């Protein structure tokens, strides 16, 4: 499915009638370091947004702000009707339980409020593991797993929590191109079928240009460009 | 049940910190509930005889409980202690090196029990010998051997003597020390629990997971420990229980702040 078709599909479903996050003149400081400077941004439901920029540009800070882990020094982050938007993260440092197996790490996302029973969760888990090639490594302890496997487990864990917004910080850093493409296909599938909003931070602008979606480019904490990837 | 289940899971995940925390909680609860027993442990009374006393060896064919009861009724007799047969045999065993084996064997073969009679401090020498004579008549001259009257020096302790400190403050000192160690273990366990709860909070639609897991686990441990203690010592210790409740309250403050994931070494 190309980018144009994808955008038409979303528009036809009328998914863009309200925003999920609206950032108005947001600034974040860490002591004397200005991580974000006067950022204005709107994220709509069902959008795929790539945040690009060099290391230290403010990508992770922006993700943490959207996740509610950080508070802005100036400006405000508005969510519709001030309701909490449930976000799930793929952290840059992954934050997996190293002494637990892949499967045990994946069960962290099992929320009885979301899933009817454990079987339903297990079915979803196995489906994702199968697509991403993790199925045969479920019993491996995280400390013995390679970087790629860890990254995939972190991504599956985030998707299994069925979030409204998926915040992924360099999710393909340890993956080869083929695995990265497969991962994006899955996110695309969730985006179209389940209206999942994806916010993907990456320093690799060439990689994200291959995927359909919106790009926000940060430099030194300032928002330099916001628009579709094809126009950058 | 959800939070209690996760408390148990976190105990298995962080074995050393988790089990140490539970163990210290049980010890602290037990020490608080049995504070009067802890007090007795440190008390100098019953450990040192400061009154004049004499010992007597009595053959086992005499009913010593009756003898002791009759002696206690006498004015000037403060306490009568009957030593168990095993204790006496142990004492004889410790004398192996000092006594001839034949003498020792003959002593072991005789069945007797030791008796300590403590007398009032103001009792005159004449009255003291009357008590000894009364005991000899009561048991029979052939069945008893009585020692001289011993007059131990009264222990004069300085105000800052550690024995006196333990006598007065031993129970509080132990409970205070246990409280400090318990808080340290609580803080150490909270670091691990914090990361575990952070992940649950991030990937499930739940708030204040750490606080809930910790409170459920702690309250359950304290309650189970108290019930166990009440079974063996059914005395209600309200002040000590209130102290424990206050400690629980203070420990919950650790989890009140917003959770942040910390990389643990």
**Calpha distance B173→B183 (Å, rounded):** 15
- Mutation target vs B (from A87, A93, A111; most B CBs, 10 A cutoff): A111
Question: Is the Cβ–Cβ distance between A156 and A125 less than 8 Å?
Answer: yes
What average pLDDT is seen over chain B? 81
pTM of the model: 0.69
More confident residue, B41 or A116: A116
CB A44 within 8 A of CB A195: no
Average pLDDT, stretch B66-94?
A: 79
Helices (H) and strands (E) in chain A, counts: 7, 9
Query: Choosing among B204, B206, B257, B261, which should be mutated to test the A contact, i.e. which has the most A CBs within 10 A?
Result: B204
3-state secondary structure of A169: strand
Do residues B31 and B128 lie in contact, with contact meaning Cβ atoms separated by under 8 Å?
Answer: no
ipTM above 0.85, yes or no: no
Cβ-based contacts under 8 A for chains A and B: 38
Kindly tell me if the per-residue pLDDT of B262 is higher than 80: no
Q: Do B205 and A113 touch (CB under 8 A)?
A: yes
Q: Which of B199, B260, B263 is opposite residue A108, by nearest beta carbon?
A: B199
Task: Choose from A68, A83, A85, A95 for mutation: most chain B CBs within 10 A.
Answer: A95
Interface touch B13/A109, C-beta < 8 Å: no
Q: Which of A69, A113, A157 sits opposite B203 (nearest CB)?
A: A157
Question: What is d(CA A145, CA A143) in angstroms, rounded to the nearest whole number?
Answer: 6
Interface test with A, best of B192, B195, B197, B202 (most A CBs within 10 A): B202
Cβ–Cβ below 8 Å for A160 and B196: no
User: pLDDT, tens digit, for every residue of A180-189?
Assistant: 888 888 888 8
Per residue of chain A (232 residues), give pLDDT as tens.
Answer: 444 444 444 444 444 447 888 888 888 888 888 888 888 988 888 888 999 888 888 899 999 988 888 887 788 888 776 567 888 989 988 889 888 899 999 999 998 888 989 999 999 999 989 888 888 999 999 989 888 899 899 999 999 999 989 999 988 877 788 888 888 888 888 888 888 899 989 887 777 777 778 889 888 888 888 887 666 6
* A109/B263 CB distance under 8 A: no
Residue indicated by tokens 């996110």 = A187
User: Nearest CA to A201 among A224, A168, A155?
Assistant: A168
Asked if the Cβ–Cβ distance from B203 to A100 is below 8 Å, we say: no
Distance from B202 to chain A by nearest Cα, in Å? 6
Residues near A176 by Cβ (< 8 Å), separated by ≥ 6? A148
- Six token digits for residue B233: 């010592």
Contact of A110 with chain B, judged by CB distance below 8 Å, is answered with yes
Q: Which helix (H) or strand (E) holds A6?
A: helix A3-12
B205 and A95 within 8 Å at the Cβ level: the answer is no
What angle do the packed helices B15-33 and B35-42 form, to 10 degrees? 80
Segment holding B210, helix H or strand E: helix B209-232
Calpha distance B212→B136 (Å, rounded): 71
What are the structure tokens assigned to B33, written together?
């509930």
Contacts of B2 in chain A (CB under 8 A): 112
Taking the Cβ of residue A160 and every Cβ of chain B, the question of whether any pair is shorter than 8 Å is answered with yes
Asked if B261 lies within 8 A of A97 by C-beta distance, the reply is no
Cβ contact A95–B199 (<8 Å): yes
- Show residues of chain A in contact with B193, CB under 8 Å: none
Predicted local confidence at residue A7, as pLDDT? 42
Residue B252 predicted with pLDDT over 60: yes
CA-wise closest residue to A137 among A108, A159, A105: A105
Q: pLDDT by residue (tens digit) across B83-139?
A: 766 666 676 666 666 667 777 676 666 677 888 888 887 888 888 889 988 988 888
Q: Which DSSP letter does residue B258 get?
A: P
Q: Which of B204, B261, B263 sits opposite A161 (nearest CB)?
A: B204
Alpha carbon distance A148, A171 (integer Å): 10
In the prediction, which pLDDT does B221 show?
93
Q: Give CA A40 to chain center in angstroms.
A: 19
Which residue of B198, B203, B263 is in closest CB contact with A109?
B203
Of A123 and B253, more confident: A123
A133: Cβ contacts below 8 Å, ≥ 6 apart: A152, A179
């Amino acid at each position: 499915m190309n980018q144009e078709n994808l955008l038409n599909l979303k528009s036809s479903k009328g998914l863009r009638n309200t925003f999920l996050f609206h950032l108005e003149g947001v600034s974040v400081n860490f002591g004397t370091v200005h991580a974000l400077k006067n950022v204005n941004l709107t994220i709509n439901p069902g959008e795929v947004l790539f945040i690009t920029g060099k290391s230290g540009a403010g990508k992770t800070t922006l993700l943490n702000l959207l996740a509610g882990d950080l508070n802005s020094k100036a400006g405000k982050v508005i969510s519709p009707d001030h309701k909490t938007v449930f976000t799930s993260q793929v952290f840059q440092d992954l934050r997996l339980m190293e002494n637990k197996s892949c499967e045990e790490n994946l069960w962290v996302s099992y929320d009885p409020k979301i899933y009817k029973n454990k079987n339903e969760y297990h079915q979803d888990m196995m489906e994702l593991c199968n697509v991403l090639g993790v199925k045969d490594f479920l019993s491996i302890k995280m400390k013995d797993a390679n970087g790629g496997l860890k990254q995939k487990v972190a991504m599956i864990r985030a998707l299994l929590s069925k979030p409204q917004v998926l915040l992924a910080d360099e999710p393909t850093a340890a993956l080869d191109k083929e695995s990265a493409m497969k991962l994006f296909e899955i996110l695309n599938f969730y985006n179209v079928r389940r209206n999942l909003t994806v916010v993907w931070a990456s320093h690799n602008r060439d990689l994200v240009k291959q995927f359909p979606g919106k790009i926000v480019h940060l430099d030194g904490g300032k928002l330099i460009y916001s628009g579709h990837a094809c126009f950058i | 049940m959800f939070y209690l289940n996760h408390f148990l899971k976190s105990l298995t995940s962080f074995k050393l910190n988790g089990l140490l925390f539970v163990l210290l909680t049980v010890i602290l609860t037990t020490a608080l509930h049995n504070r009067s027993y802890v007090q007795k442990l440190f008390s100098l009374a019953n450990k040192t005889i400061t009154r004049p006393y004499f010992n007597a060896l009595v053959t086992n064919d005499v009913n010593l409980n009756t003898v002791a009861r009759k002696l206690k009724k006498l004015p000037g007799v403060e306490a009568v202690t009957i030593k168990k047969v095993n204790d006496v045999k142990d004492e004889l065993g410790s004398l192996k090196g000092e006594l001839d084996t034949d003498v020792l064997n003959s002593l072991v073969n005789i069945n007797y029990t030791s008796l300590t009679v403590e007398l009032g401090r103001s009792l005159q020498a004449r009255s003291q010998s009357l008590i000894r004579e009364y005991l000899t008549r009561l048991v029979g001259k052939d069945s008893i051997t009585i020692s001289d009257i011993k007059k131990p020096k009264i222990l004069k302790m300085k105000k800052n003597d550690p024995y006196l400190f333990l006598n007065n403050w031993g129970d509080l000192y132990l409970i205070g020390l246990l409280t400090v160690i318990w808080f340290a273990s609580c803080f150490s366990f909270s670091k691990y629990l914090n990361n575990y709860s952070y992940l649950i909070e991030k990937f499930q639609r739940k708030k204040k997971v750490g606080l809930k897991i910790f409170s459920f686990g702690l309250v359950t441990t304290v309650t189970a420990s108290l019930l166990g203690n009440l079974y063996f010592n059914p005395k209600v210790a309200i002040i000590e229980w209130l102290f424990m409740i206050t400690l629980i309250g203070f420990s919950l403050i650790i989890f009140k702040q917003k959770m942040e994931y910390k990389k643990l070494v």
